[in-house]
Structure 1
């Protein structure tokens, strides 16, 4: 689901108490995203990916090392024959050397390129995990929002019922003053008012809990006076899609396995280097010249690690097993998503039918309550009978409200879960 951006709203909402102001689901979801650490985590992960890629690329830079050594050996090279008119200075048994080695990689069998691909996939995998955590956060925010909304709308029903009972109570009090009604009927309404007050206290507490949890998740300053708006009715459930973040994680794992196979193949290939060494020592390259001299040498080196062939078949078998395991996970996930979607879809259909019946019952119950109120005023029915009819009306309205909000909750949850265009 593409969440609408309410930048100005987010600035106004965070850090400022919302006394009696209207708050929408989209505003809460947007605030939750802004407050969550996932945005910062994305930035850090992207920066880490860039840094690690640069580290891998340094493998193509000349590798240099400065070395020094001094040795003493038990014997040295010498000539066992004497040559007339040629006097040779014996080579010292103590030898000294300081030198710098330079190696330049010119071919690595594709290892550096493959490592860069692995790093990119690893970063992509981490970002997908962050998006999954963000979606779960939005689902939790959405769930609590609907809890607050249900408590708010439920309280309105009870407040309306309270006003109706108070109105009937006033009529009865007038009748009692003129001796037309008994005090017993008034006591029945008084008890009903106390029951209503108890319900309102419970509902107020439920909303307070939901509001405090929303404040923690969104960073907003909501309170019991905040009015939660009913989201616009979604006409139909989002089509089933297997491109969820859980599935993307498995797809990323497949790519990681394939790229790791390429890296293992690159280890079977030889590597070529240009190398050079320059130094100063006694002796230098001329072992027969017993004096300190500077020297250098350069060339091409080929390195082929044949021990990589030891694990070739084992690595291939391991990769094959990992692929099969991921395919099993994908199959299980598709089945779970299909079951979840079927459940959501059927629940939405069920609530649509229940809502139609609720509307019909409310219409009938309202007519019955109006008639009962008139009959109570005239004294043709008792307060108990009136309360019974009024409670039936309340239950019908509560049922309608509950079914309507539950239907919306399923539709919104399906959008978050199955909408592949969701920008989290």
Structure 2
């Protein structure tokens, strides 16, 4: 029974201790899902829905309840002089205090399409706001890339540093035997032990830096990443031929919004025709000479045209056209900068590929020199300080290759991130 418990415990520890793995694509997806900024797009949709519903309500009859109570200094009086012998005619005089409560109902028959354009404008404005969020998320994606490749570089640095540590430990074990046998000086042993302490410090610093990068990455993607988290090396990126930068799409949406503003100006300068019905209770009602509270109603066709809008429409359209040209210039500048970035990035990729070729040659040479130095150290031909120098030189060559590999991988992803410069 005891043996079974030991086996079960070991089995549980092995499988419960499996490290968490995550890919760059998963980080992008988690960031877009969990980062607070992404929630704004849903809120924009809700706001737009409410705005359009409010505009749709204007298609229904509009009701307005009003009341008036007034007192006036004078009223209309009619005095008739009738010939003698004829009966006198008394025309009632309106009272100076007057009251009226009425309900006004109106239904637009023709509004020049203004409401329809306003709905289109609300949707277009929502697309602009959502695209602004998309631009910010795209910038965050670049930050995720920087952190991700920074962690990959730290992993490779740890790997190479631990290889160097193993080489020095192997050399130290052999030097201890030589010192014990009186064949080598104790300073050779002390030099190796001191170098190992320095290496352990470097390993600790790299691990601390890696953990800091993991914590920042975890906050961006909304996920807890432990120190044991393994980041998978991304596959070679394949550039998307039909990809368009979100900044360019934003400019396009902004131009569409301005075009709708032009249409809205035209719709606002069209006469509005509506049916109306007013019903109420007042003293006097429609009969001005009545001194009693009476119900009344009035119905008909109403024509309205805000002619004063014609004073400003030319200036407003000129302003819109100027802003459209400004967006064209902004787009042109962005495309030019984009092309410059692409050229610089391609040049960087070529340089890194060339550097990797020489890195491989340098590592072969440094490895041979280190192996020869190790044999010379064991035979007492060189000191441990000289061996450490050659071991560090080989490690430096491997570290540079690792750096160039990660930089090349990141440069290829950065080139994809830059995207195409035209539609």
- Unmatched segments (≥5 aa) in structure 2: 1-15
Equivalences, count: 402
Give the match for residue 291 of structure 2: 290
State the shift of 1:336 in Å: 1.0
State the shift of 1:239 in Å: 5.2
Give the match for residue 355 of structure 1: 356
Contact 1:240 1:418 in 2 (8 A): no
Q: 1:411 to 1:67 in 2, by over 3 A?
A: same
- Pick one of 140, 146, 153 that aligns with 1:143: 146
Contact 1:365 1:389 in 2 (8 A): yes
Are residue 69 (structure 1) and residue 64 (structure 2) matched? no
Q: Structure 2: how far apart are the matches of 1:89 and 1:385?
A: 127
Tell me the TM-score normalised to structure 2 length: 0.89
Contact 1:114 1:259 in 2 (8 A): yes
Are residue 130 (structure 1) and residue 129 (structure 2) matched? no
Q: 1:290 to 1:55 in 2, by over 3 A?
A: same
Contact 1:358 1:400 in 2 (8 A): yes
Q: Structure 1: how far apart are the matches of 2:360 and 2:239?
A: 22
Give the match for residue 300 of structure 1: 301
Are residue 317 (structure 1) and residue 318 (structure 2) matched? yes
Give the match for residue 38 of structure 1: 37
Give the match for residue 259 of structure 2: 258
Give the match for residue 53 of structure 1: 52
State the shift of 1:56 in Å: 1.5
Give the match for residue 398 of structure 1: 399
* Secondary structure in 2 matching 1:185: helix
Give the match for residue 224 of structure 1: 227
Give the match for residue 339 of structure 2: 338
Contact 1:109 1:271 in 2 (8 A): yes
- Pick one of 178, 183, 186 that aligns with 2:186: 183
Q: Structure 1: how far apart are the matches of 2:325 and 2:73?
A: 62
State the shift of 1:237 in Å: 4.9
Give the match for residue 10 of structure 2: none
Q: Please, which moves more after superposition, 395-404 or 250-259?
A: 250-259
State the shift of 1:187 in Å: 2.2
- Pick one of 200, 213, 218 that aligns with 1:197: 200
Q: Structure 2: how far apart are the matches of 1:244 and 1:148?
A: 27
Q: 1:409 to 1:126 in 2, by over 3 A?
A: same
- Unmatched segments (≥5 aa) in structure 1: 1-16
State the shift of 1:34 in Å: 2.6
Are residue 89 (structure 1) and residue 92 (structure 2) matched? yes
Tell me the TM-score normalised to structure 1 length: 0.89
Q: Please, which moves more after superposition, 94-103 or 183-192?
A: 183-192
Contact 1:18 1:223 in 2 (8 A): no
State the shift of 1:19 in Å: 6.9
